[in-house]
Amino acid sequence: MADTTAAKGGRKVSKKALAKSFRNWYYGNLTCFSQEHMQTFGYLVSMLPIVEDLYDKKEDQQKALTTYSAFFNTEPQIGSMIVGVTVGLEEARANGEAIDDETINGIRAGLMGPLAGIGDSLIVGTLIPILLGIAMGLSEGGSPLGAIFYIVVWNLLAYFGMRLAYYRGYDLGGAAVEALVGPNATALRDAIVMVGTMVIGAVCATWVSISTSLQLPGGGTLQGTLDGIYPKLLPLGFTILCWWLMTKKKVSPIVTMLILLVIAFVGAAVGFFGAATIAAPTA
């Protein structure tokens, strides 16, 4: 990969253009989404300030910008690093380094998959659920505290995290990404996913409340018997059932919901599920 850290003596992207480019990505990465070109236009507008800064002639700007019209899609928060990396590459190209469209698009296409995987599992699949789990605890009973906590903490993390990723991508080029997939980074990622998995377990026990109103023939309730075996056994059982359907049987979430509808209907008809007020504790 080409050395992107510094332009040798020649042109350097101004601070103002970098800030504008980052802002455009931060806001506009998905605003014009289509199935065909997911984040392509978000990418184009974030490269626009850069090419205007680096090239004086209109034709050169247009030619450079056309490079970024190839399909692009990744997890947009962590993906800001890729934008940063290409800004570095574009700067090197403006200074006469032999970097062609294929090189840039090859790097872009090579990075978007792995970073989408990291971003989806770490940010969308772990960080946001943890924050939401804590926020729901704070909002119990209808307090706005949890919602406010989530709004503030998430947005600070997202903005400064994306900013850091963008500038690190620009400063370090490919090395920034290599650092994200190195052995220690992988260990850290596993540890974070571990926190996420435990918190999901706690969320399941706290926020899912399924109970049965079935009376046992010999007196007592089925719920009482189940609680004796393990508390919250029904939420756990139904969660594992859904997981099994979606993972092992490849059933889509919508079909899984329809299966639950059938279970709910049959359960209500035979008296397994009663009026929730009688049996279930307040969520």
Partner 1 sequence: MVINVFQAALLGLFACLASMPGLGGTSIGNYTLGRPLVAGLIVGLILGDMTLGIIVGMAIQVVYIALVTPGGTVSADVRAACYIGIPLAMMAVKAQGLDPNSADAAALATTLGATCGTLGAILFYGTATINLAWQGMGWKWLEKGDTHKLYLVDMVLPWISHIVCSFIPTFVIVYFGQDMVSFIMNSLPMDGLPMKTLFALGSLLPCVGIAILLKQVIAKPTDFLTFFFGFTLAAVMGCNLIAASAIACFFALINFQISTLKNRPVVAAASGELTAADDEEEEDI
Q: Output the smallest distance, CB 212 to partner 1, in A.
A: 10
- Report the nearest approach of partner 1 to the CB of residue 67 (Å): 11
**What SS3 state is found at 43?**
helix
Q: Is 222 a residue that touches partner 1 (CB under 8 A)?
A: no
Instruction: Give the residue from 224, 39, 56 showing the smallest Cα distance to 119.
Output: 39
Is 187 among the residues that bind partner 1 (CB under 8 A)? yes
Rounded distance between C-alpha atoms, residue 98 and residue 110, angstroms:
19
Question: What does the alpha-carbon distance between residue 106 and residue 166 come to, in Å, rounded to a whole number?
Answer: 19
* Residue 219 or 282 with smaller CB distance to partner 1: 282
Our CB check for partner 1 shows the closer of 26 and 170 to be: 26
Count other Cβ atoms within 10 Å, centred on residue 141. Answer: 5
Q: Which of 201, 220, 224, 228 binds partner 1 (CB under 8 A)?
A: 201
What lies within 8 Å, CB to CB, of 59 at 6+ separation is none
The residue range among 3-11, 82-90, 96-104, 245-253 that interacts with partner 1, by the rule CB under 8 A, is 245-253
**Least Å distance between CB 206 and partner 1?**
5
The helices-and-strands tally (H runs, E runs) of the chain is: 13, 0
Does residue 176 touch partner 1 according to CB under 8 A?
A: yes
According to CB under 8 A, which one of 1, 158, 222, 226 is a site residue for partner 1? 158
**Region binding partner 1 by CB under 8 A among candidate stretches 11-19, 86-94, 135-143, 217-225:** 135-143
By CB under 8 A, residue 105 contacts partner 1: no
Q: Which is nearer to partner 1, 2 or 192 (CB)?
A: 192
Pair of tokens at residue 220 = 């007592």
Nearer to partner 1, 1 or 208 (CB): 208
* Contacts of partner 1 in 264-283 (CB under 8 A): 264-265, 267-269, 273-277, 280-283
Buried b / exposed e across 142-178, counting CB within 10 Å, b at 16+?
Answer: eeeebeebbeeebeeebeeebbebbbbbbebbbebbe
Would you give the binding string for partner 1 spanning residues 58-87, x where CB under 8 A is met?
xx-xx--xx--x---x--xxx---------
Asked if 96 and 163 count as a contact pair (C-beta separation under 8 A), the reply is no
The rounded distance, in Å, linking the Cα atoms of 84 and 115 is 13
| Half-sphere exposure in the Cβ direction for 39 (13 Å, CA) | 24
Contacts of partner 1 in 9-48 (CB under 8 A): 24, 26-38, 40-42, 44-45, 48
Give the nearer residue to partner 1 in terms of CB position, either 2 or 203.
203
| Choice between 2 and 134, CB closer to partner 1 | 134
